[in-house]
Amino acid sequence: MGKKLLHTIGCDENGRIIHVSETEKGNTYTCPQCGDRIIARNSGKTQRPHFAHFKKSKNQCNGESVLYHLFCKEASVLLQSHIEQKLPFVMEWSCPFCNRKYSKDLLQQVASIETEYLIDNHRTAIVLLDKEGHPLFAIEVLIRKKLPKNIIRHYDEAGIILIQLHLTENDWQRVKEKLSHPDSVTFCGNGECYNFQFYQNCIRREYFTQKFKCKKCGKVVEGYMVRNTSALGVLGLDRLREEEKKEIVHTYFRGKRAVMADILVYGKCRCIPHSKGLVCLNKSDDFKETRQGKISRNK
């Protein structure tokens, strides 16, 4: 677990946050958490310099609680200022399972911020909400402990993106850096990621059309694709599932000739978007059309 976190943060007479090493004799200091008077203890054989309450406090402030309180306060102020000024706040992370890297604006759909927010009897450090008041992100501030698996699973089931920040003693001075590069984001938009199934509730799949030019016959045709979107915006393109193909054929191709294996690209050349470019079915010997209007690969 490492060394015990001491109460090393205080406020001077002007309300400025200081470290215990910056104290001067004769000045008065207060606790950032409860506001009571604290004194600096700079000597001792067994402990490092730290603050102690001048009188016993009912709030039971300690090094961990003060760090937690101060970090949450400073983080909320920072994010709120970006929201009010309509400035982006870029967050960078990578998926621990597929290693895909992301760089997204955390505040794209955020309208308000709440601290110590209660979600089904669990108190979350910071919650970012949309304009309807629905939680989009839960920021857990952790000190010398791990978040229980049942809490992580609850966020996933509720469609709330979980951001975990593990703090050390001096991280109250690195609020922006910690928020910009969180220790963990339980979310990934990669459909081929091993853990992608656990993030489904946080992802919306949206259809969109795009023009393609066949590399073989030169004809421009229109194709349907899917993009994964979330509270973090567009995360990337994905393949159409079979049920999605049927839905699009029924909705958009009623009365038109459409073939499932065409990935919903239609036109006289009947091209399909392929991972290595466009494949024209008219000039390829790898495919043949059956009487039922389906495409099957030659064996």
Q: Assign 3-class secondary structure to 232-299.
A: CEEEEEECCCHHHHHHHHHHHCCCCCCCHHHCCCECCCCEEEECCEEEEHHHCCCEEECCCCCEEECC
Question: 36 with 67: CB under 8 angstroms?
Answer: no
> What is the mean predicted confidence (pLDDT) over 257-283?
46
Judged by average pLDDT, the poorest of 26-35, 37-46, 100-109, 167-176 is 37-46
The whole-chain average pLDDT of the chain stands at: 77
39 is written with which tokens? 């004194």
pLDDT at 126 over 90: yes
Query: What burial letters (b/e) apply to 255-267, b meaning 16+ CB within 10 Å?
Result: eeebbebbbbbbb
H/E stretch holding 116 reads strand 112-119
Question: 290 with 283: CB under 8 angstroms?
Answer: no
pLDDT band at 109 (very low <50, low <70, confident <90, very high): very high
Q: What is the dihedral of CA 65, 68, 73, 78, to 10 degrees?
A: 160
pLDDT at 93 over 80: yes
pLDDT band at 113 (very low <50, low <70, confident <90, very high): very high
Looking at residue 22, what DSSP letter applies? Answer: G
